[in-house]
Copies of this chain bind each other. A is one copy, B any other.
Amino acid sequence: MTFAQRLQRLVATRESQIVLGLDPDPARLWAQAHERVAAAGPPAQRAASAVRAHCAAMIDAAGPACVAVKPQLACFERLGADGWAALAATVEHAHEAGLLVIADGKRGDIDVSAAAYAQALVGHTPTPFGDVPGLGADAFTANPLLGVDTLTPLVDGARSADAAIFVLVRTSNPGAADVEDLELHDGERVWERLARIVAQLAGPGDGLSEIAAVVGATAPEHVARMRELMPRSPFLLPGIGAQGGRVEDLAPAFAVGRAGGLISASRSIARAHESAGGSPADAARAEAERLRAMAWSLG
């Protein structure tokens, strides 16, 4: 099955469009993540072990209300090789829980380097010593600044793995105004041009494409225009909660169907207990379920 097919089935079955962001900070893990960490060993190894346990607990608690997880690669990379092993284990745990995995690394590079990123995230690497599997993600985020010829190897890699690529079009941070919102000579904004590139890569046709877009939930006034420019692309909508975006502003994303708008939430779920009280797992479960029900009611 293609990514779009897997996604649509999951969205329908779970009645959810929620993506669980996994941005583990070793200094702010759930208490239970510390329980099984070895009493001694190199800090990177012990921290990675705790991060792995934290992500597994997040998935166990909030996962049933979600369709995918979105691990933030930076949070794992800072723990080195041990962190990458924790990332691989987290991908596996998410798959066992029936969730899709969107590797959030916002990669972008030229020709053979872009192809290498596709191998790392959704593909595999042929070597004289045997085939080396990549991370096994179902999708990954990508940065389009370097142009179409840097996206093509990523798109090809995603397509041959039945995976998806989420291209950054308009991000959720205030600084998105600095470059993405610049006005071009013909009156369009840079993000509109990026949206046209996404649409061109997706091509004509019906049905949800595997060429998807990241569209910040903090600029809801743009969502309808985004849908117009990219009629076939699933949207990943970060920025709900901690960043100020509101689920109820995102309805235009779902014009293409419920699977056309995926709502990403991370800190608001991981830290729900800080405001709601109770155990981290119970608060996360309740917050993910609250977001799920609110988004589903828009469809």
Residues of chain A touching chain B, judged by Cβ–Cβ distance below 8 Å, are 23, 25-27, 34, 37, 43-44, 46-47, 50, 72, 74-75, 77-85, 88, 104, 106-114, 116-117, 119-120, 125-135, 143-151, 168, 171-180, 182-185, 187, 190, 193-194, 197
Contacts and interface: CB of A to CB of B under 8 A. Distances in A.
Contacts of A110: 171-173, 175
B120 A74 contact: yes
Contacts of A83: 84
Contacts of A182: 184, 190, 193
Contact of A150 (B72, B107, B173): B173
B187 A175 contact: no
Nearest to A125: B78
Given A26-B125, A131-B43, A185-B185, A193 B179 contact: yes
A113 B145 CA distance: 19
A131 B109 CA distance: 31
A23 B120 CA distance: 14
5 contacts: A44-B133, A47-B129, A47-B130, A74-B109, A146-B175
A132 B78 contact: yes
Contact of A184 (B47, B149, B184): B184
Contacts of A168: 145-146
Contact of A147 (B128, B180, B184): B180
A53 B85 CA distance: 22
Number of copies of this kind of chain in the complex: 2
Contacts of A183: 184-185
A43 B129 contact: yes
A173 to B, nearest CB: 4
Cβ-closest 5 pairs across A and B: A147-B175, A43-B130, A149-B175, A147-B178, A26-B127
Contacts of A146: 106, 143, 168, 171, 173, 175-176, 179-180
Nearest to A126: B27
Given A143-B146, A150-B173, 7 more contacts: A47-B125, A72-B109, A72-B113, A77-B120, A79-B132, A81-B85, A147-B177
B34 A128 contact: yes
Contacts of A72: 109, 113, 116
Given A72-B109, A74-B116, A187-B185, A173 B147 contact: yes
A148 B177 CA distance: 9
